[in-house]
């Protein structure tokens, strides 16, 4: 799961990488995905490439990922440094690639009802069911603070 | 942000700073030391129409409120936005859910053509620029009714931008003056709806029904050009009418097809905009204006008392009638927007750019949709004014009340009476009765045919105006009888016999010589007395105008 998250950091355009990059906000390339990036850029320590504790905590809450220890954080820092090499490419005046599908046609489906009516099947996936409803806890359960944290994974 | 600073609120409403019962707490923490008047009355925001100023402004003790809206309208379609499961209001829980809606692995979104058409039509009706290329994004947050952990929306490049919505507020003492306003539309985007959570506090659990998950929504973002609850409510009502006329959404707030979030801030004119709060859970047309006004008042009070406004999300509590901070919000949400990797850009065409030989099922032509747009409410109202010579505010009322326009048109079809008469009867008498008993047009005991027949009788001068009102009352109460029956039962017909009337006039004049003398002396009110006397003699079955004519004829002879 960690490996997958790591790949996502690399692949995700602008938003994911720039969060921890040394140079905050290259001009003109800020896409809409830069909302989180803009905020992150201020937080990460620029020069050393180290990722601050608050950032790690924030990430854990956002993605429900358990870093599990300093090795994981170090791995993330190395991954970010690796991805930073992208900055060596001059992309002035080049339209960002948002999707490798951008040349494909978006298929339009006609407005007919062809699916559904499988409540029984779907409910089998749920640990708890009450009268054909899925059962969930009463609200989002807040993660404990970083100090008090036990290995807590939510798959 | 180009929100006009001196935007005075809806006329005829006063921004009273503090409620009466909160008297002494009103501390004078005057912000940037200036002419503190010390009197509470001076801290009210004058909400006068831009047209007529009543009282002179009192300098710095004014507040201007700024209201922006985000409106989510459920698209009226057979199937959902990205899957083929059905869209239906009431159904057994989780029965209208496909594997994609339940976010089972291995499923992919497939865009519904009807939803795109709905978005384009709405954009065109709201004077928007339609983006020929728009993109889909993922907005991530965790909640039990969002099984995928993200919502597919259009954050970067929505399908329509920069439009406008025109609406009219009625001002003045009798709400007879119509002021036209416009609110700019920032964008319209397609997005998915989430499922429904039913909170079971007793057993400390939440029950999740995914029937609504994945239904297509149109999010219409209105710029903060409004300044009070009434303007916001009117704009929302107009948007509702437009969506219903287009057929893109049924926009029924009671069924959750139209949901409104408001962004509200206050500031002193001339100063920069204040911190805004977001008020969610505004799902009732009735409480929309109230909630917004409450929040504006709350913010003004808070600032006047030296406090500050937090940039937070609040919810409107219908029972308490106030806004409360929403729990479950730990700091600012970080949605981690990323482009939706499974969907290519959405491309739209117009007649000029339509690729030759393209499959018509796979392309959407904006020009074609524009030609097929149905009549919008503003056009309908204009036509009513032209065709029937009614006042603009009447056309507003006719369209605002559900079913009233149809009722009016049905009456017009069957009656020979003048449109002005029909308008007056429908808007005053009929609507008055409905409102009194809190009924919808569909629940009216009086049918259009019955009213048409009654108006015909009135038009033929078979009955007087007063008698007609009585007949209407009886129609309302009894329901089954026809106007003609009621007239004959209650003997309300006007006297048709000229001779008998002449004799009565003569007799009355002879019985009251002093009044006649008064009249001859030139007292104008004496004639009314005479008319009244004759009417009494006829048991109110004679038309006053006819009586007057007859009396004058006899007097002059």
* pLDDT tens profile B424-471: 888 888 888 888 888 888 888 888 888 888 888 888 877 777 778 888
Task: Give the DSSP per-residue string, A23-81.
Answer: S---TT---TTHHHHHHHHHHS-TTT-PPPHHHHHHHHHHH-----SHHHHHHHHHHHH
Beta carbons of A78 and A50 less than 8 angstroms apart: no
* Cα A18 to Cα A25: distance, rounded to the nearest angstrom: 7
Measured CA to CA, the distance from residue B13 to residue B15 in angstroms comes to 7
pLDDT digits (tens, 9 = 90+) for A90-113: 989 998 887 888 888 899 999 999
Q: Determine the average pLDDT of the residues in B235-264.
A: 94
Residue A70 forms part of a structural domain: yes
> Residue B135: which pLDDT band, with cuts at 50, 70 and 90?
very high
- In this prediction, residue B121 has a pLDDT band, given cuts at 50, 70 and 90, of very high
Query: Is residue B40 scored above 80 in pLDDT?
Result: no
Query: What's the average model confidence in pLDDT over B297-326?
Result: 88
- What value does the mean pLDDT take over residues B152-161? 95
> Residue A24 domain-assigned?
no
pLDDT at position B91: 93
Model confidence band, residue B34 (pLDDT cutoffs 50, 70, 90): very low
Contact in structure between A113 and B86 (CB atoms under 8 Å)? yes
pLDDT value at position B47? 43
Is the predicted pLDDT of residue A87 greater than 50, yes or no? yes
Q: Which residue among A31, A64, A116 places its CB closest to the CB of B98?
A: A116
User: Given this structure, which CATH class describes domain B498-556?
Assistant: mainly alpha
Average pLDDT score over chain B: 83
Give me B325's structure tokens.
Answer: 């901070």
Helix (H) or strand (E) holding A133: strand A133-136
- Contact B216/B240 with Cβ under 8 angstroms? no
pLDDT band at residue B363 using 50, 70 and 90 as cut-offs: very high
Which region, left, alpha or beta, applies to residue B408 given φ > 0 means left and ψ of -120 to 50 means alpha?
Answer: alpha
A97 DSSP assignment: -
Confidence of residue B84 (pLDDT cuts 50, 70, 90): very high
pLDDT band at B61 (very low <50, low <70, confident <90, very high): low
pLDDT of the residue at B471:
82
Nearest to A31 among B144, B156, B343 (CB): B156
Q: Is the ipTM of this complex over 0.85?
A: no
Which residues between 154 and 213 in chain B have a beta carbon less than 8 angstroms from any beta carbon of chain A?
A: 155-157, 197-201, 204-210
Overall domain count for chain A: 1
pLDDT of residue B422: 87
Is the CB of residue A118 less than 8 Å away from at least one CB of chain B?
Answer: yes
Query: Which DSSP category does A136 fall into?
Result: E
Q: Would A114 be classed as within a structural domain?
A: no
Chain A interface, best mutation among B75, B97, B117, by max A CB count within 10 A: B97
**Facing residue for B111 by CB, picked from A31, A109, A112:** A109
Set of chain A residues whose Cβ sits within 8 Å of the Cβ of B339: 13, 33, 98-99
* Residue intervals in chain B for CATH 1.10.10.410: 498-556
- Which domain covers residue A52, as residue numbers? 47-89
Lowest mean pLDDT among B261-275, B294-308, B314-328: B314-328
Q: Read off the pLDDT of residues A139-149 as tens digits, 9 standing for 90 and up.
A: 777 766 545 54
């Amino acid at each position: 799961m960690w490996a997958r998250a790591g790949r996502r950091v690399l692949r995700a355009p602008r938003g994911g990488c720039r969060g921890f990059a040394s140079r905050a906000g290259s001009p003109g390339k800020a896409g809409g995905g830069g909302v989180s990036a803009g905020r992150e850029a201020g937080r990460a320590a620029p020069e050393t490439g180290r990722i601050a504790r608050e950032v790690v905590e924030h990430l854990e809450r956002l993605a429900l990922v358990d870093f599990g220890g300093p090795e994981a954080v170090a791995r993330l820092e190395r991954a970010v440094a690796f991805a930073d090499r992208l900055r060596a490419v001059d992309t002035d005046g080049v339209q960002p690639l948002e999707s490798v599908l951008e040349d494909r046609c978006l298929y339009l489906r006609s407005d007919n009802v062809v699916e559904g009516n499988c409540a029984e099947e779907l409910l089998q996936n749920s640990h708890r069911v009450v009268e054909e409803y899925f059962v969930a806890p009463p609200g989002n359960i807040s993660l404990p603070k970083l100090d008090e944290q036990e290995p807590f994974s939510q798959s | 942000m180009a929100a006009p600073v001196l935007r005075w609120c809806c006329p005829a409403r006063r921004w009273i700073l503090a409620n009466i019962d909160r008297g002494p707490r009103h501390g004078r923490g005057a912000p940037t030391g200036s002419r503190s008047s010390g009197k509470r009355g001076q801290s009210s925001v004058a909400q006068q129409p831009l047209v007529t100023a009543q009282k002179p402004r009192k300098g710095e003790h004014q507040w201007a409120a700024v209201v922006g809206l985000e409106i989510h309208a459920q698209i009226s379609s057979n199937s959902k936005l990205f899957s083929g499961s059905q869209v239906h209001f009431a159904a057994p829980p989780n029965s209208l859910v496909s594997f994609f809606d339940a976010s089972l692995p291995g499923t992919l979104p497939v865009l519904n053509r009807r939803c795109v058409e709905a978005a384009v039509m709405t954009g065109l009706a709201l004077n928007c620029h339609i983006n020929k290329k728009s993109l889909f994004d993922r907005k991530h947050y965790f909640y039990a009714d969002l099984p995928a952990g993200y919502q597919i929306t259009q954050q970067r490049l929505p399908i329509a931008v920069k439009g406008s919505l025109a609406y009219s507020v009625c001002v003045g003492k009798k709400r007879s003056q119509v002021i036209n306003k416009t609110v700019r539309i920032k964008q319209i985007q397609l997005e998915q709806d989430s499922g429904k959570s039913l909170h079971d506090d007793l057993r400390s659990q939440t029950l999740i029904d995914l029937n609504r998950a994945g239904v297509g929504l149109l999010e219409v973002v209105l710029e903060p050009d409004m300044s009070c609850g009434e303007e916001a409510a009117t704009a929302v009502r107009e948007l509702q009418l437009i969506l219903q006329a287009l057929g893109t959404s049924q926009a029924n707030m009671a069924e959750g097809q139209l949901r409104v979030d408001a962004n509200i801030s206050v500031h002193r004119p001339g100063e920069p905009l204040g911190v805004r709060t977001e008020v969610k859970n505004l799902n009732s047309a009735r409480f929309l204006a109230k909630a917004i006004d409450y929040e504006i008042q709350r913010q003004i009070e808070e600032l006047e008392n030296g406090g500050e406004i937090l940039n937070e999300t609040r919810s409107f509590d219908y029972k308490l009638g106030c806004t409360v901070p929403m729990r479950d919000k730990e700091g600012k949400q970080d949605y981690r927007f990323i482009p939706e990797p499974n969907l290519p850009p959405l491309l739209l065409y117009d007649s000029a750019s339509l690729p030759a030989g393209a499959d018509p099922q796979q392309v959407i032509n904006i020009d074609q949709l524009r030609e097929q747009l149905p009549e919008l409410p503003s056009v309908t109202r204009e036509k009513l004014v032209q065709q029937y010579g009614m006042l603009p505010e009447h056309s507003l009322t006719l369209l605002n009340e559900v079913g009233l326009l149809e009722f009016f048109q049905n009456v017009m079809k069957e009656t020979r009476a003048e449109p002005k008469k029909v308008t007056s009867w429908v808007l005053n008498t009929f609507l008055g009765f409905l409102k009194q008993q809190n009924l919808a047009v569909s629940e009216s005991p009086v049918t259009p045919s019955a009213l048409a027949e009654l108006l015909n009788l009135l038009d033929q001068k078979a009955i007087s105006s007063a008698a007609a009102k009585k007949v209407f009352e009886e129609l309302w109460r009894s329901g089954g009888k026809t106007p003609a029956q009621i007239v004959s039962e209650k003997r309300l017909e006007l006297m048709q016999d000229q001779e008998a009337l002449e004799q009565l006039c003569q007799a009355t004049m002879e019985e009251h010589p002093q009044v006649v003398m008064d009249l001859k002396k030139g007292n104008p009110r004496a004639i009314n007395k005479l008319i009244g006397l004759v009417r009494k003699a006829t048991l109110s079955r004679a038309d006053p105008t006819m009586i007057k004519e007859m009396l004058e004829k006899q007097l002059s002879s």
